[in-house]
Chain A
């Protein structure tokens, strides 16, 4: 029969000779191997201090985007909720009042916006469905918690920091979003 690859090694079925039978030589060889491993580079990543970079296409917890002036981009159109195969997203729309132009970008906004992280399958379809550039999947994953309730993320948990009060954090979040956009 023709071998598919040249990598197969025939098994040595010769009976063991005397040296092999008393095993000592092979034990010694094995011990040399383990001894050499003492000086090898450790593969451990010291997690809390040292983190592995996420892949640019990683889909983690959601974030809700703001524009440069810190206004929420979401208009509560509901397309993300429709796109969501796990039905994890719920929202309530509201109309923007005349004195709220600095808070919301358009006339309609989401008064309540919740994502159940236990239902979410992190498929990223909400991100793709959004016409307003408002929702993105970030590079963090949901931390462990004791109650189911705490996994329902409200708008406060999802919104990125306000550029007026926390410009640095806002820039970090924005940079992340720009990186995400490039992968599309």
Chain B
């Protein structure tokens, strides 16, 4: 009796891929916390964590263990259900974005060609936007359910910031989409591999806008308004303790990793190793160079994110809104119009 015709091998391969992607992004997020502290240290002429293990590489583990053993506190006047939902949602949306990033071309196992991408959906970029804008619910619900005015204010800031910067982000990407003519990330990467240049050459302004907006979307400095310690105590996660706090902090680093991977995919050719013709290489080597290229680019971008954080002071709230609405959105519109005109006149559509 056949109830459903399911390709079980397909399901299993996707499951395995999901498990790998999630554990790798968790691992990278773990070590991003370490890298952040190390980079902050060396940029301020300090050493950074160096006590736990050689060069302090066990520090993230120690931090995690510490967070797990902390007392779990749920405030009496908070909405218990939403209070727990907040960090869960933050973590969930952070992980969900990784589903559509093409991590490499394909891999051949037991006669099956498996693409190294969990889901190659034809609305890839739209999916990213959908999930990323859901990420702000984690902050909002967490901040509101805490029943604390500072948390609430931070949550409101986070929400308004995310909304303002999503607009510019979307507009900057529309220009890119005019060039590529596709929303699928896989297609965008393949075009960059087959074409002469990466998308950043065609869209430098678009990249700049997208990068600034990505900083704002990840709540990274100089746009870390929801966590402005000096005005809001600790921001939206003030009432959180133990691993719920850990989830919020961790989600930030996963977000950073994923958004760096997205930037690398959209503007820096994804798994395209520069100056190497992938089609000349054998399957295994091509796969490996692809992975090295993508992760190399991602790590460089993560470094830039951290570098910016430890260089620039935080924006004031009105400056943030000014930059978003009066600076980036008109600029993105201009970029869109110019790109549209150029595409129209040269007919450089693929």
A contact residues vs B (CB 8 Å cutoff): 24, 27, 30-31, 33-35, 37-38, 40-44, 46
Chain B residues 311-328 with CB under 8 Å of chain A are 311-312
B contact residues vs A (CB 8 Å cutoff): 42-47, 208, 307-308, 310-312
A-B contact pairs, 18 of them (CB 8 A): A27-B308, A27-B311, A27-B312, A30-B311, A31-B307, A34-B307, A34-B310, A34-B311, A35-B43, A38-B42, A40-B45, A41-B45, A42-B42, A42-B46, A42-B47, A44-B46, A44-B47, A46-B47
Q: Cβ of A24: which chain B residues have Cβ within 8 Å of it?
A: 208
* A31 and B308 within 8 A (CB): yes
Q: How far is the CA of A44 from the CA of B50 in the complex (A)?
A: 12
Q: Cβ of B47: which chain A residues have Cβ within 8 Å of it?
A: 42, 44, 46
User: In the complex, how many angstroms separate the beta carbon of B141 from the nearest chain A beta carbon?
Assistant: 34
Q: Cβ of A31: which chain B residues have Cβ within 8 Å of it?
A: 307-308, 311
* B43 and A34 within 8 A (CB): yes
User: In the complex, how many angstroms separate the beta carbon of A48 from the nearest chain B beta carbon?
Assistant: 10
* A30 and B312 within 8 A (CB): yes
Q: How far is the CA of A38 from the CA of B311 in the complex (A)?
A: 12
* Nearest A residue (CB) for B310: A34
* A42 and B45 within 8 A (CB): yes
A-B contact count (CB 8 A): 34
Q: How far is the CA of A27 from the CA of B42 in the complex (A)?
A: 19
Closest A-B pairs by Cβ, 6 of them: A34-B311, A34-B43, A44-B47, A38-B42, A30-B311, A31-B311
* B312 and A37 within 8 A (CB): no
Q: Which of the listed residues A34, A35, A38, A41 has the most CB atoms from chain B within 10 Å of its own CB? A: A34
Q: Cβ of B308: which chain A residues have Cβ within 8 Å of it?
A: 27, 31
Q: How far is the CA of A104 from the CA of B246 in the complex (A)?
A: 63
Q: Cβ of B310: which chain A residues have Cβ within 8 Å of it?
A: 34
Q: Cβ of B311: which chain A residues have Cβ within 8 Å of it?
A: 27, 30-31, 33-34
Q: Cβ of A41: which chain B residues have Cβ within 8 Å of it?
A: 45
User: In the complex, how many angstroms separate the beta carbon of A39 from the nearest chain B beta carbon?
Assistant: 8
Q: How far is the CA of A169 from the CA of B208 in the complex (A)?
A: 66
* B307 and A37 within 8 A (CB): no
User: In the complex, how many angstroms separate the beta carbon of A23 from the nearest chain B beta carbon?
Assistant: 9
Q: How far is the CA of A33 from the CA of B312 in the complex (A)?
A: 11
Q: How far is the CA of A135 from the CA of B89 in the complex (A)?
A: 66
Q: How far is the CA of A35 from the CA of B47 in the complex (A)?
A: 15
* Nearest A residue (CB) for B50: A46
